[in-house]
């Protein structure tokens, strides 16, 4: 109800303006806003999912890009998100692409953005993280290269970001999949990814911070096997799939939300097949997830933790409560006492 009212006002404004004002309000009054939207879950153990390298208190986390500068962690930690991913952060702050650069498709519950990694830079984001109250929630930091950094030097940006954040978060993500930084997606070529991971090797020996790679849904399906191989070779914690998709007929930038769900699912399903033999790798599912049925489908295929962005914009925190209700219903039907048990026995569930 409250979110419906909020949306009526916010959706009358330009999308980016509404976003900025919302982040301002959420960061200024995190407790009050979180309570007004229903607060957090009490019984966190019931909904906990265990990945190989971390445990989330709820199977759904906040995807990167919504809180790019880590300003509203205190709010997001107080609603049922199991993890919060901030960023994408680049070494030096940058303004991003010219505005307007964020568009809504109301009927299709989708967004198109060509933001271009606008962010305050690593130093400011680190400061915000250090002064935030996480309340035990998992915090991820999503890393990207500056627009002015050449492809040859991209690995140096990722290295400097890795050093800055490795001891100040619960996991890190190498983002090579945004369509809005020229040439970034080319870094998904295996030689480029190899160069990035090789340059991180020495630093990674000094810590145990889980490292993920976030990929595009527009990669050819037959290239996914190579990415899984690379993830194994460099002992990554896993893969985050997917970022936004390009739909040229809609204009420049990346599409997210329901218009992405089919493509995102195809990529995730293929990855889950490929990763089935490598239980040390986790897949974090993102892209078009908007209700419990989407989470259930991901679980049935072997996934555990997922993230949302667009459905949070269109439904607000209600989407998390709808997913919670779906879980409660399944637990009641099956007699399992928590999500961990449910996931262990998921193959036997209808």
Ligand X SMILES: Cc1cc2nc3c(=O)[nH]c(=O)nc-3n(C[C@H](O)[C@H](O)[C@H](O)COP(=O)(O)O)c2cc1C
| CA distances (Å), origin 27, targets 194, 203, 252, 285 | 38, 33, 30, 27
**CB distance 257 to 307 below 8 Å:** no
Binding mask 139-158 for ligand X (x = CB under 6 A): ---x----------------
Which spans in 221-291 are helix H?
224-233, 258-275
Q: By Cβ distance, which residue is nearest to ligand X?
A: 65
Query: Does the footprint of ligand X cover residue 86 (CB under 6 A)?
Result: no
**Per annotation, catalytic residue among 178, 216, 290, 310:** 178
Burial label for 100, CB within 10 Å (0-12, 13-18, 19+), is exposed
Instruction: Determine how many CB atoms are found less than 10 A away from the CB of residue 334.
Output: 15
Looking at the Cβ atoms of 23 and 159, the one nearer to ligand X is: 23
Within 265-324, which residues bind ligand X (CB under 6 A)?
Answer: 286-289, 308-311
- What is the per-residue binding string for ligand X in 203-232, x denoting contact by CB under 6 A? -----------x------------------
Q: Does 256 bind ligand X (CB under 6 A)?
A: yes
Neighbouring C-beta atoms of residue 320, cutoff 10 Å: 24
| Total residues interacting with ligand X, rule: CB under 6 A | 28
Binding flag, residue 68, ligand X (CB under 6 A) = yes
Which residue of 22, 57, 69, 88 would you call a contact of ligand X, by CB under 6 A?
Answer: 88
Position 111 contacts ligand X (CB under 6 A): yes
Is residue 235 within 8 Å of 209, Cβ to Cβ? no
CB 105 within 8 A of CB 257: yes
Nearer to ligand X, 46 or 315 (CB): 315
| DSSP symbol at 153 | G
* Nearer of residues 49 and 173 to ligand X, judged by Cβ: 173
Active site residues: 178
């Amino acid at each position: 109800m409250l979110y419906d009212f909020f949306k009526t006002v916010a959706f009358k404004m330009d999308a980016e303006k509404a976003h900025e004002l919302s982040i301002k309000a959420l960061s200024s009054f995190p407790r009050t806003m979180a309570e007004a939207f229903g607060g957090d879950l009490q019984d966190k153990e019931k909904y906990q999912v265990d990945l190989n390298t971390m445990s989330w208190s709820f199977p759904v986390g906040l995807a990167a890009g919504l809180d790019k500068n880590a300003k509203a962690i205190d709010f997001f930690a107080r609603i049922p998100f199991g993890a919060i991913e901030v960023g994408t952060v680049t070494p030096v702050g940058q303004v991003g692409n010219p505005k307007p650069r964020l568009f809504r498709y109301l009927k299709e519950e989708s967004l198109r953005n060509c933001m271009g990694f606008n962010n305050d830079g690593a130093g400011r984001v680190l400061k915000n993280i250090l002064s935030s109250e996480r309340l035990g929630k998992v915090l991820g930091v999503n890393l990207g290269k500056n627009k002015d950094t050449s492809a040859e030097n991209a690995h140096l940006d990722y290295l400097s970001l890795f050093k800055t954040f490795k001891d100040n978060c619960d996991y890190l993500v190498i983002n090579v999949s945004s369509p809005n930084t020229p040439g970034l997606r080319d870094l998904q070529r295996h030689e480029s990814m190899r160069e990035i991971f090789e340059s991180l090797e020495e630093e990674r020996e000094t810590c145990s911070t889980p490292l993920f790679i976030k990929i595009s849904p527009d990669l050819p399906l037959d290239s996914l096997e190579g990415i899984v191989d690379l993830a194994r070779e460099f002992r990554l914690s896993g893969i985050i799939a997917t970022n936004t998709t390009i739909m040229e007929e809609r204009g420049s930038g990346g599409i997210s939300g329901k218009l992405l769900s089919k493509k995102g699912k195809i990529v995730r399903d293929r990855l889950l097949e490929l990763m089935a033999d490598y239980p040390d790798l986790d897949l974090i599912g993102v892209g078009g997830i908007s209700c419990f049925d989407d989470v259930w489908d991901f679980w049935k295929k072997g996934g555990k933790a997922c993230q949302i962005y667009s459905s949070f914009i269109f439904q607000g925190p209600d989407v998390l409560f709808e997913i919670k209700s779906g879980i409660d219903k399944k637990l009641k039907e099956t007699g399992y006492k928590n999500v961990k048990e449910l996931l262990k026995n998921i193959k036997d569930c209808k």
